């Protein structure tokens, strides 16, 4: 199944006999939780999912947004009405970071039909989609996580891919270069990683670029057939959007969930700065 769905396609599916479960995953780095925005208006029937508590474990040595405990993640998804036999569509406010994190976790945990709403809530309203403020109470789902559906990287494996394949750094270029670091204790990047900010995956309207454009972009970054590809960011959130874009381009990529927040927490790990991979 294609990993994204357009607003018009979603409207048709919601009106059909087998409507998807909708998950609202609005989230901003350093910002307030998205529940307040959700309460002011969300797609009809959508359930709010908190990225910090439902889609990540407690922050620590494994990073700011490590993998959630599978049992806890499964319980959160069942509360949202998720079942393995029913499609799921995730969305956020526009750029797809939170939505992609939910999509990636569902796919990693074995859900067969998770997708991201291309352009998020903005695309939905621009195409005339209605919003509602009532909070739904969906029936309990039956989803049971079976981890392993998507490839995952440890810090050691991320370093190996930086040497042997292509490791893409999905953060803003100035963070990659080490000029600024607003969140983590050390500035710079994993030696050998290539800068590939997620912002370049999107059009001005906040939608994913066509598959051909994405493929050309990643080829310019060194992605080739049979080349192992990994992705990291600050804490494994925006990198999930990069994995989504790579899948649209026909490339399977592994996610380093701990990302820079895990890597930089260990003073023994090497750090590169500047525009070159190092």
Yes or no: say if 222 and 194 are a contact pair by the CB < 8 Å rule.
yes
Is 233 among the residues known to form the active site? yes
Round to whole Å and give the CA distance between 183 and 197: 17
Q: 88: which strand partners?
A: 21, 114
Question: Looking at 187, 233, 244, 255, which residue is catalytic?
Answer: 233
Yes or no: say if 51 and 237 are a contact pair by the CB < 8 Å rule.
yes
Structure tokens at 175: 């963070």
- How far from the centroid of its chain's Cα atoms is residue 205's Cα? 18
Round to whole Å and give the CA distance between 49 and 51: 6
Yes or no: say if 109 and 149 are a contact pair by the CB < 8 Å rule.
yes
Round to whole Å and give the CA distance between 20 and 159: 38
Nearest to 100 by CA among 200, 172, 26: 26
Nearest to 26 by CA among 35, 18, 14: 35
Upper half-sphere CA count for residue 278 (Cβ side, 13 Å): 17
Catalytic residues: 233
């Amino acid at each position: 199944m294609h990993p994204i769905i357009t607003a018009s396609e979603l409207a048709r599916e919601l009106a059909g006999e087998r409507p998807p479960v909708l998950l609202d995953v609005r989230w901003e780095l350093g910002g307030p939780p998205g529940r307040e925005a959700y309460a002011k208006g969300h797609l009809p029937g959508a359930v709010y999912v908190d990225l910090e508590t439902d889609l990540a474990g407690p922050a620590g040595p494994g990073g700011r947004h490590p993998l959630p405990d599978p049992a806890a993640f499964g319980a959160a998804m069942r509360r949202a009405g998720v079942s393995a036999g029913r499609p799921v569509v995730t969305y956020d406010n526009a750029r797809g970071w939170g939505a992609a994190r939910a999509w990636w976790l569902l796919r990693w945990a074995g859900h067969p039909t998770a997708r991201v709403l291309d352009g998020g809530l903005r695309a939905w309203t621009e195409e005339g989609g209605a919003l509602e403020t009532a909070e739904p109470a969906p029936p309990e789902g039956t989803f049971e996580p079976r981890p392993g559906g998507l490839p995952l990287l440890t810090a050691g494996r991320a370093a190996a891919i930086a040497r042997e394949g292509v490791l893409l750094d999905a953060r803003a270029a100035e963070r990659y270069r080490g000029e600024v670091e607003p969140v983590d204790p050390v500035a710079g990047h994993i030696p050998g990683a290539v800068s590939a900010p997620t912002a370049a995956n999107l059009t001005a309207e906040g939608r994913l670029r066509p598959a051909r454009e994405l493929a050309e972009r990643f080829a310019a970054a060194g992605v080739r057939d049979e080349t192992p590809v990994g992705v990291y960011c600050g804490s494994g959130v925006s990198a999930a959007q990069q994995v989504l874009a790579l899948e649209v381009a026909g490339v399977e990529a592994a996610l380093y969930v701990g990302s820079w927040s895990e890597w930089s927490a260990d003073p023994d790990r090497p750090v590169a700065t500047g525009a070159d991979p190092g």
